[in-house]
Structure 1
Amino acid sequence: MTTGEIGAGGLLPDRHPTGDFFLCDIFGASPKDDLGTMEHPVFSLSTRPDRRILSYEHNGAQVQVVPSVKGRATIHDKDILIYCVSQLVAALNAGRETSRHLVLKAHDLLVATNRDTSGDAYTRLKEAFERLAGTRISTNLTTGGEESTAGFGLIESWEIRRKSRGGRMISVAVTLSDWLYRAVLAKSVLTLSRDYFRLRKPLERRVYELARKHCGRQPEWRVSVAVLHKKSGSSAPLRVFRASLRKMICADHLPDYGMIEEEGDLVRFCRRGHVMERDAPGAPLLRSSTLEEARELEPGADVYALEANWRRFWEESGKVQLKDPDKAFLGWLLKRRTS
């Protein structure tokens, strides 16, 4: 290799320009999850390689998930898809062109999904891409108004586009399945709490998904433990699953929803508060520099929580059209500090 081939900072030249790829560059996009995989158990809840074939049928929906030798994609691997879907939906709401071919920065993905950014994190991220690409699904689920029985991978392909000198991935190209991309275009998605990424246990994440999907903006949702067990995709015996639910009820740290055990082997989910649609059409958007300024005004505070509180205040005030949302947010923040 000649010296002229070395790029700035010791990087190889970009031999594969982005072309028709969608660049994931939207700061603070609200986490979005597709309805299909929220409703049905596609991802493994196991912390060890899960090589079992999953066959699931419920109310006419049929799903078969076949893992690769590396195991079925896990609920934590799904963070990658949530990040991609979040970026695409935010872009659509902003009127930008999108594509199912994406380029993302590994560091941005790790930060957005509340993961550490150590060297091991990049290794685990690579393993997650491998499981996502190797997991095959056959289903008749409808996405984007289309129902077809088809087989596909959770992601069609992935490629590390750039590496640092030490071998750490920097840029990754990902091609989503047509099935998932149709769901994005049809806005068949729901907003998740950012605290979803703080949930450590796989079952907690899965139960939150189901609560978000079925309870949504209703005051509550009741479901039998048996049905919840089936929808979760848990491989644990029902009695063990029930015990895990009771631990979750005692811990009471599920975002957005509280859980109550009721007679008849039922669980009731109740909404805690409002799930904010940060990038919904018509919602005021803040510049990243404004959030940085908020960090300086409120050292140590969660600026996203502050932003959510401000948006709630804006909604409760009648959703008044703002000429300068950034100025309005900072003014609200200053008034909050002095009140």
Structure 2
Amino acid sequence: MPQRPFPAVLEAAAPRDLRDLMVWPWFSLAKTPRHQPIRLDHATVRLRVEPAGSLGIATVWDADVLIWAVSQIVEALDAGLTPGARLEAPPRQILRFLGRGTGRSDYARLRAAFDRLAATRVETSLRAPLPEPARFTWLDGWETTGNGVCLTVPEWLSAAARERRVLRLDPAYFGLTGGTARWLYRLVRKMGGRQRGGGAIGLRRLHARSGSRVRYVEFVPRIRRIAASGLPGYRLTVERGGGEERLRFVRHPESPCPSTQGCGLAAEELGRSEWEERGTSPCRITGHRPADSALSSCPASEIRPYNFITSLYNRLLAADSPNPAPVDDSSGRPWRRP
């Protein structure tokens, strides 16, 4: 018997994206159909994305549907519900979540996004048990129902959402109109994390990561224009260091981390505390605290200058350093196969 669809109509869901989808070129950045495959061979990560038929590769705007699905799954788990891989909702609610209109053309574009996500074929070594790569499509299928539309997401996607391998996005992300700006925000959000001093990445490496069809000499002016206008919650600068130009990104001091939000409750009388026992704090000492994550409501611990965490393909330089090295904490752990 087919699994009963989960009613994915949680309007309070905050936008969340899978970490693995934020730093690699999974989607086309152009609004015109792309039929040329996307290929990347980076250290231990290899991927190939290609279209099926005449639809073209799924775009970074189509990927908003996956953000909606992940957000609904995580929100349902937070509410104590048990969502499955089949999500059902009225198209109007999906469009509203994505900050889009609800006219006839908007519904047509949403339907086209479903088709491209279901038709785009992906092959990657990321999280795949060697030597065989993982092969999948972004959607296992979709259909219209009496309650709207039912999307069947791949098992690996729902598993990643259940394991909270996600980051919260600034809702202003949906207002970004350029494909390169959308892709860059997700990469900066993943690489920047909560580092006080942000991070940096070389422009040539950035160009390779984008999967863009434009040449490097055309790509750099786009990055400069985006840096001049900024991205939601981040300040960007293009600088020269280490013999190459690189993009440096840092969170706006006044911008709250999108992974946390206020409780909405008014403050009590000044000086009052709910803790009656004097001299005892409910907070654990630093050594007993769990590792900080983007999903924690606790503030990030201060990083001492020149504190390095080094692994094979990942280098993290402390935020206090004036010359941060390129940041890349993407993982090469085995992909959970369907």
* Secondary structure of the structure 1 residue equivalent to 2:199: strand
Distance, in Å, in 2 between the alignment partners of 1:129 and 1:313 is 43
Contact kept in structure 2, 1:18 and 1:103, CA below 8 Å: no
Distance, in Å, in 2 between the alignment partners of 1:311 and 1:241 is 42
User: Are positions 1:194 and 2:171 aligned together?
Assistant: yes
More divergent stretch after superposition (241-250 vs 52-61)? 52-61
Contact kept in structure 2, 1:30 and 1:277, CA below 8 Å: no
The TM-score normalised by the length of structure 1 is 0.73
Distance, in Å, in 2 between the alignment partners of 1:309 and 1:93 is 17
Name the structure 1 match of 2:113.
128
The TM-score normalised by the length of structure 2 is 0.73
1:28 deviates by: 2.2
> Mapping of 1:162-201 within 5 angstroms?
162=146, 171-201=148-178
User: Are positions 1:257 and 2:242 aligned together?
Assistant: no
Name the structure 2 match of 1:62.
46
Name the structure 2 match of 1:277.
259
- Aligned residue among 119, 123, 126 for 1:141: 126
- Aligned residue among 243, 248, 255 for 2:226: 248
Q: 1:19 to 1:177 in 2, by over 3 A?
A: closer
Distance, in Å, in 2 between the alignment partners of 1:184 and 1:203 is 25
Distance, in Å, in 2 between the alignment partners of 1:70 and 1:106 is 21
* Secondary structure of the structure 2 residue equivalent to 1:174: strand
Name the structure 1 match of 2:201.
223
- Aligned residue among 117, 134, 157 for 1:150: 134
Distance, in Å, in 1 between the alignment partners of 2:143 and 2:229 is 40
Which aligned segments of 4 or more residues in structure 1 are displaced greater than 3 angstroms? 308-314
Higher relative CO (CA 8 A, sep ≥ 6), structure 1 or 2? Answer: 2
Deviations 1:305-335 (A, max 9, x none): xxx5666998xx9xx99xxxxxxxxxxxxxx
Name the structure 1 match of 2:248.
268
* Secondary structure of the structure 2 residue equivalent to 1:265: strand
Name the structure 2 match of 1:43.
27
Contact kept in structure 2, 1:45 and 1:203, CA below 8 Å: yes
* Secondary structure of the structure 1 residue equivalent to 2:177: coil
Contact kept in structure 1, 2:3 and 2:86, CA below 8 Å: no
Contact kept in structure 1, 2:228 and 2:237, CA below 8 Å: no
User: Are positions 1:115 and 2:115 aligned together?
Assistant: no
Deviations 1:179-233 (A, max 9, x none): 2122112111110000000001111000000000000111211110011111122
Name the structure 2 match of 1:288.
none
* Secondary structure of the structure 1 residue equivalent to 2:22: helix
1:141 deviates by: 1.6
Q: 1:141 to 1:313 in 2, by over 3 A?
A: farther
**Paired AA for residue 275 in structure 1:** C
User: Are positions 1:83 and 2:68 aligned together?
Assistant: yes
Q: 1:81 to 1:262 in 2, by over 3 A?
A: same
Give unpaired runs (5+ residues) of structure 2: 275-338
Q: 1:309 to 1:182 in 2, by over 3 A?
A: closer
**Paired AA for residue 20 in structure 1:** R
Give unpaired runs (5+ residues) of structure 1: 1-16, 163-169, 279-307, 322-339
User: Are positions 1:26 and 2:6 aligned together?
Assistant: no
* Secondary structure of the structure 1 residue equivalent to 2:36: coil
Q: 1:18 to 1:313 in 2, by over 3 A?
A: farther
Name the structure 2 match of 1:3.
none
Name the structure 1 match of 2:293.
none
Contact kept in structure 1, 2:39 and 2:211, CA below 8 Å: no
User: Matched residues, percent identical?
Assistant: 31
Name the structure 2 match of 1:104.
89
Name the structure 1 match of 2:143.
159
**Paired AA for residue 72 in structure 2:** Q
Name the structure 2 match of 1:333.
none
**Matched residues, number:** 262
Q: 1:52 to 1:311 in 2, by over 3 A?
A: farther
